[in-house]
Structure 1
Amino acid sequence: MKNHFLWICLLLLVGVSSCKSLQEKGNDQYLSGQYQYAINTFSQILADEPDNQEANQIIAESYRLSNRIEEAAPYYQKLIEESPTFESYYRLGLSLKAQNKPEEAKEAFESAKEYTQNEEYLAETQRQIEAIKLSQGIEDYWPYHELINYKDLNTAGPDYAPVASEGFLYFTSGRQASGLYPADGSPYTKLFRARADGVNVDATAAQALPEFQNEEGLNQAAIAISPDGNTIIYARGNSTSPKDLPETALFVSYFRGAGFTQPIWMPVNEDEFWWNSTPAFSPDGSELYFASNRPGGFGGIDLYKATRLANGDFGNPVNLGPTVNTPGNELFPRPTVDGKFFFSSDGHPGFGKLDLFVAEPNESGEQVIKNLGENFNSQNDDFAIFFTEYPKAGFISSNREGGVGDDDIYYFEDKTPKPKIVNVLLNVYTKQRVAGEPDAVLEQARVVLYDSLSKQAGGDFSNSNGRVRFTLTPNADFTIIASKTGYFSKSIPYSTVGKTPDPATLIQEVTNITLDTTIVLDQLVLDRSIVLENIYYDLDKADIRPDAAVELDKLVQILKDNPAIRIELSSHTDDRSSDDYNQDLSQRRAQSAVDYIVSQGIDADRLVAKGYGESQLIIENAQTEEEHQTNRRTEFKVIEIQQ
C-alpha cells in the first residue's frame, strides 16, 4: 500500500510539472505572437480542464488577434460564466457580430454596458449596437453585379489582393510556401503574377514575381503598382527572425534601366514598430494610400494618404479622417478616377467582419459612406477591390464559406439585363377641312416632330395617303407641327406616357407599338371671316371672361403657329340697342380681346381690333334669343400674309 502511494505521488508530481511546462510554453507562444501555436497548446490544457480561465482567455485573445474573432465566442462565454467583465462581454459581442448573429451580439453589447462607467467604452459599445441596427437596412450598391469564385486561380491556402497591370494580374498567394505563419497557422505568402486580359486570367501559368525575388520565412503581400508600371510597393513582415524588422512595413522597388531594384524600406513607414500595409496608388500616381496602426488615429488600423515628393519618395502622410476611419479597422484603399474611394472596414455597419464600402460625395459635397451590399459582402472578410473596367468588372478577395481555400480571389461583372426596347411607331395623318364635307386627305404637308426640349426629332412630307411615320420613345412628350402653303399651320401636343406596356412584362427584346393621330388644317384665305366659338361677354361689358380666354388661347396658338399672318379681330352685336351704343360696345370688346392676345406674347402689330356693332347682322330681324346669339359673335380674318 505504501509503495502504491509513492507511485501515485510521483505520477501527480510528473503531471503537475508537465501541465506547468505546457502552460509556460503556451504563454511564451502567445506573448511572441505565435497565436496558432498558443491555441494548440492551451487547447490541450482545456481538454483536461475545460474551465481553466487562463486557457480560455488566451485562446479567445489568440483568435481575436489573428483575425479569427468569430471562433472566439465559446471561450469568451466561458470567461463570462466564471467572472463577467466589460471586456469579455464586449468581445463576445464582436465575435457574435462576426458570426452574423445580430440579436445575440446586441444582447452581449447591452450586457457589456453594465460593467463599465467609462464614457468612451460606453460610446463605442453603443456605436456597435447602432451599427447592427443600420446593417439590417443595407441595399446593394450595384444590384446587378455578380461575384464568382476564380476556382482555377485559387489554392487551398490564401490567395488575395489582385492588382492588374500591363497585361498581368499580380496577387498574393500561399502557394510554394516554405513554412507556416505561426500567428494563424496559414502558409507564408509570396507575390505572384499571371497573364490576364481584364478578368480573364491564364491561371495555369501563374509564376512567382519575376521583377525581384520573394524572400523566405516571412509574408510578402498586398502589392501596388504605379499607373506607369515603374514602381512596385508591397507589404513585408511577420518574420520570426530576431534580426529582422519587428513589424510589417511597406517596401518599394523602382524600374531602373534593365530591371527593378531590390526592394527597400520606405520612409513613409516612419517607425519600424508601426504596422503599415495594403498600399494603393491614386489614379495619376501622385498619391499613395495605405493602412497603418500608427498613433493618433481613430481606431485599430486607419487609412492614410501620402503625397509624392520631389525626390520620388512619398511623405507627409495624412489620416483620412473620421468619416472614413472608425474605432475599428480600415484597410485596402482603392481611389477611382471619378473621385470615389473604395475600402474595407469592420467598423462601419456591415454584415460581419471586413466589408467593402465606398465613400462618395453627396449633393452638398460631403463624403457619405455606403456598404456595397450583400452581392459583394458576407459575414466573413471581404476586401481588396480592384477594377479592371470601372465600375463594371474587377476582382475582390474573400474568405467566405464555399471558397476553394482560405482567402480566395473572386471576379465580378455587371450583369445588368439588357433593357427591353419598346418602339412607338406613330402614324400622323394630315387632312384638310372642307366646308359641309368630311375632312379630306392632304398630301405633301410638312410634318415636323419636336421633343420636350423643343429639339427637332424628325420631319417629313405626308404621302399620297396623307401619312407621315415617326419612331417615338415611350413615356415622353412631343409637339407635332403640320404646315402647307395655303393652309393655317397647326401644332398639337402628343404624349406617349401611359401608352406603352411595362418593359418588365415583355418577353421579346424589341416590341413595336403602332399609334395614330390626325392633324386637320384649315385653308388660309385672305379676308375670309372665321367665327370664334363660345366667346361670350357679360351684359353690357367688354371684360374677357375665363371661358372666353380659353377660346382666345386657341387663336393665340394659331398666331404662334403662323408667324407670317396679320389678322383683324372683329366683334359684332345684336340690334337690341342703339347703333351708337352697339358700335362702342363692339369696339371695346374687340379691343379687349386683342389686348388679351397681346398679353399672351403676340406682337400688337399683328392685330387689328375692329368693332362692327350691328352693321353686319347674320340674321336680319332676329326674333329668338338663339337668333340674337348668332348675331353676337367674335370673328377673325387674315388681312395680310407677310413674306
Structure 2
Amino acid sequence: MRNIKSTFPISRCLLPVLLLVLQASCTSLLQKAQTQFNSGEYQLAIASYSKLLENDSANNEANFYIAESYRLSNRIEKAAAYYDKVNAENASFESQLHKGRSLKGKGEYEAAKEAFEAAKKLTMDDEKIALATKEIQNIDAIAEITPIWPNHELENYELLNSTGIDYAPIVSENQLFFTSSRGAGGMYAGTGQGYTRLFKTRAEGINVDVQGVQTLNEFRNESGLNQGAIAISPDGNMIVYARGNSASRKDLPDVSLFSSTFNGSGFTEPAYMGVNGEPEYWNSTPSFSPDGETLYFASNRPGGYGGTDLYKATKMASGNFGKGVNLGPEINTPGNEMFPRLLANGEFYFASDGHPGFGKLDLFVFKEVEDTNKVINLGPNFNSIADDFGIFFTKYPEEGFITSNREGGKGDDDIYYFKDMTPAPKVVNVLLNVVTKTIAENGEEQILPQVRVMLYDDNNQTIDGNLTSQSGRLRFPLEPEKKYSMIASKSGYFTKSVPYSTIGKTPAEEDLIQDVTNITLDTTIVLDQLILERAIVLENIYYDLDKADIRPDAAVELDKLVKILKDNPGIRIELSSHTDVRATDAYNDDLSQRRAESAVAYIVSQGIDADRLEAKGYGERQLIIENAQTEEEHQVNRRTEFKVIEITD
C-alpha cells in the first residue's frame, strides 16, 4: 500500500474510487491475517497484521493479534509494545497480565510489577487477582534465588549448534539424540523457523562427535511437520517423541506423543500413544523414569492447574502406558511446566515459568530438603531471562546439557553443556616422623628399634601401623586439622599410648600458595623398661601434714599411673608409700600404709581392677638418703613408688 501511494499520482477525481479499492484491499488483508492466526500460522499473521499497522499504527485489532501471535509462538518478550498499545485504548485483565509477563521476559521487573498491579484493578475475580499477585510475588522472590551448584558453568556448544533451532539433547548408549531445524525442507509458519527433525551422533559424556551428526535412522523423519523432544527407555528398546504442527489439515490437530519399539530386527513405525487422550490435546517433552516403568510428559489437557502441566503414566502388563496422572500443585502452577526429568536419587527436574524465576522458562528441581519436599530454582548460573529447559545429566551432578535461547547464542534454541568448575582444593600432605627411644642406665635417652607403633583416628579406628626401623624411625601420613593417637609397644617395655594432633600445625587454606604443600612433623615416644621388682618413683605425690587424703596435685600424677595400667593390662603392681625418719617407727608405718591405700583407692576409682594393685606402707624402713639432714633430703625419702610385681600375657 505504501508503494501504491508513492508510485502513482492521485487526481482529485479519482480519489473516491481509490479509497474504495484501498478499503477492499485492507479488508482482504485483515481476513487473511485472521485466517493465519486462527490456523496457528503466527509468523505469517504477524507479517500480515504488521502491514495493516503501516497505514494505521493505532489499529487496536492488529496490535492485539500481533501481541497474541508472539505470545502463542513462545516469543512473549516481543509482545510488550503491542500490548501497551492495546491497553492504551481498551485494557483488560488478560492484556495487562500478558504485558507484565512480556516485560518480565525482557528482564524489566519493576515495569512488569506495575502491569500486574494494573491487571488486578481490572477484575473482581478472586482467582485472577491471586494469579497477578503470584506473579508479583515471584518477581520479589528473584532476589532470594541462589545457585544450587555455584561453581557450575554453562558453555554454548557452538560446534554442535546450527543457526536455527537445536534443543532437548539426551544421551543413550553413547549416542547423543537431539532435535534440530538444520537442513529443514520447509518453514513452520507458527514461528518462521524450519521444521524440526530428530538427529543423533556419538558422544562420551559431554564430548560430542560434532562431525558425525546424522538424522535418526531408527525410523523416518517426516516432512512438513515438527518432530520434537525425544525420550529413550533405559533398556534402549522404546523411543517416544513428540510429533505435530503438520502442514496437512488431514493430520492430527495438535502435538502428540508417538512411540516406536525395537522388535529384534529394527524399530517399528511410530504409533500414536494412548496417553495422549484426545487428539486436540497438546502433549510433548516426554521422559522415562530410571527404571523405565513410568513415562513423564507435559500436556495442556483440561483439569490441570494452568497452561501446560506435568503428568505421569505407568507401564501396564501389555507394555503400553496407562492414563496420564497430573503431578499435582506442588510442581504444577497456573503457568507452564514441561521437560520433566526424574533421577535415580529421587530428584525431579523440570522447566517452569510459574515458579519464581528470572524470566520465561527456568530450570527447577523438586527434592527433599530437611524432611520437606521443595521446588528450588537452579540459580542464575543455569537460568536467564530467556527460556532455559531440558536438563540432562551425563554425570550427576558434575556435567550435562541444557537448552536455552538466551542472548548470545548461535541460533534460536541452542544446546549448552555445563561442567562443575570448582577449583581443585589445594592439597596439604602431612608426614609425621616418629622416633622411639628408651632411657639408658645413665639416664640418657637412646634409640629403641623394632617398636610396634599403631596409629588410630579420634574414633579409635586403626589407620596404620608398623615396626620402627633399626634407627627407631617410622613415618605416618596424616591429615590436617585431625586428632589421632598412637600406641607404642615392645616386649620388655611398658606399652605407651600417646595422643597426637595436627590441629594448628598446618597453614590455613587461604594462606596456601602452591597446589601441593608438604608439611613434616616430628615426635618422639619414650618407652620405659618393664622390670619386675624395680621401683619407679612417682613424682610430686604430696600429702597434707599428717593426712592420707589425695590432693588434686597428687591426683594428676596418679592419673599417669592409671594410664600406664590401662596401656599395660597384663601387669600387677605394688604401690608403696615411704616416710622420712622424723617420727616413731610405728607412726610412720601406719601413716605410710594409709597413704598407700588411699592412692590405691583413687586408682580403683578410675576404673582399674583392685586385684591388680597392692598397697604397701614402708614407713622409714627403705630410706634413699641415710642420715638425711636437710628438708630437701627428707623430701627425697618421703616418696610414693610403684613396682611391677607380676606380668601376665
> Is the shorter-chain TM-score for this pair beyond 0.5, marking a shared fold?
yes
Q: Superposition pairs for residues 139-538 of structure 1, below 5 Å?
A: 139-364=146-371, 366-434=372-440, 437-503=443-509, 505-537=511-543
Query: Which deviates more from structure 2 when the two are superposed, residues 548-557 or residues 467-476?
Result: 548-557
Q: CA deviation at 1:221?
A: 0.9
Partner of 2:70: 63
CA distance in 1, matches of 2:323, 2:553: 75
CA distance in 2, matches of 1:511, 1:458: 22
Query: Which deviates more from structure 2 when the two are superposed, residues 76-85 or residues 484-493?
Result: 76-85
Three-state SS of the structure 1 residue aligned to 2:144 is coil
Three-state SS of the structure 1 residue aligned to 2:529 is coil
CA distance in 2, matches of 1:597, 1:103: 76
Structure 2 letter corresponding to 1:472 = L
CA RMSD between the two structures: 2.8
Structure 1 unaligned blocks of 5 or more: none
Cα deviation digits, residues 432-474 of structure 1 (max 9, x gap)? 2347644233233222222223233222333344322222222
What TM-score results when the alignment is normalised by the length of structure 1? 0.91
Q: Is the 8 A contact 1:194 1:202 kept in 2?
A: yes
Does residue 638 (structure 1) correspond to residue 628 (structure 2)? The answer is no
CA distance in 2, matches of 1:586, 1:12: 133
Structure 2 letter corresponding to 1:360 = K
Does residue 50 (structure 1) correspond to residue 57 (structure 2)? The answer is yes
Out of 88, 101, 107, the position equivalent to 1:94 is 101
Partner of 2:126: 119
Structure 1 letter corresponding to 2:501 = S
Cα deviation digits, residues 283-325 of structure 1 (max 9, x gap)? 2211111111222222221211211100000013322222222
Cα deviation digits, residues 323-368 of structure 1 (max 9, x gap)? 222222111112222222222222222232212222222342x323
Out of 133, 140, 160, the position equivalent to 1:133 is 140
Three-state SS of the structure 2 residue aligned to 1:93 is helix
Cα deviation digits, residues 549-569 of structure 1 (max 9, x gap)? 333322222112212111223
Cα deviation digits, residues 549-593 of structure 1 (max 9, x gap)? 333322222112212111223344567777666655554544443
Structure 2 letter corresponding to 1:38 = A
Q: CA deviation at 1:402?
A: 1.8
Three-state SS of the structure 1 residue aligned to 2:522 is strand
Q: Superposition pairs for residues 69-84 of structure 1, below 5 Å?
A: 69-84=76-91
Distance 1:441 1:251, change over 3 A: same
Partner of 2:7: none
CA distance in 2, matches of 1:621, 1:111: 109
Three-state SS of the structure 2 residue aligned to 1:260 is coil
Q: CA deviation at 1:172?
A: 0.9
Does residue 550 (structure 1) correspond to residue 556 (structure 2)? The answer is yes
Three-state SS of the structure 2 residue aligned to 1:284 is coil
Query: Which deviates more from structure 2 when the two are superposed, residues 88-97 or residues 554-563?
Result: 88-97
Q: State how many pairs are aligned.
A: 640
CA distance in 2, matches of 1:413, 1:198: 11
Query: Which deviates more from structure 2 when the two are superposed, residues 571-580 or residues 399-408?
Result: 571-580
Q: CA deviation at 1:108?
A: 3.4
CA distance in 2, matches of 1:62, 1:175: 24
Distance 1:587 1:43, change over 3 A: farther
Structure 2 letter corresponding to 1:401 = E
Q: CA deviation at 1:209?
A: 1.9
CA distance in 2, matches of 1:88, 1:548: 88
Q: Is the 8 A contact 1:421 1:503 kept in 2?
A: no
Structure 1 letter corresponding to 2:452 = R
Three-state SS of the structure 1 residue aligned to 2:131 is helix
CA distance in 2, matches of 1:623, 1:106: 99
Structure 2 unaligned blocks of 5 or more: 1-9
Cα deviation digits, residues 175-199 of structure 1 (max 9, x gap)? 2323222222111111122233333
Three-state SS of the structure 2 residue aligned to 1:316 is coil
CA distance in 2, matches of 1:398, 1:27: 31
Partner of 1:600: 606
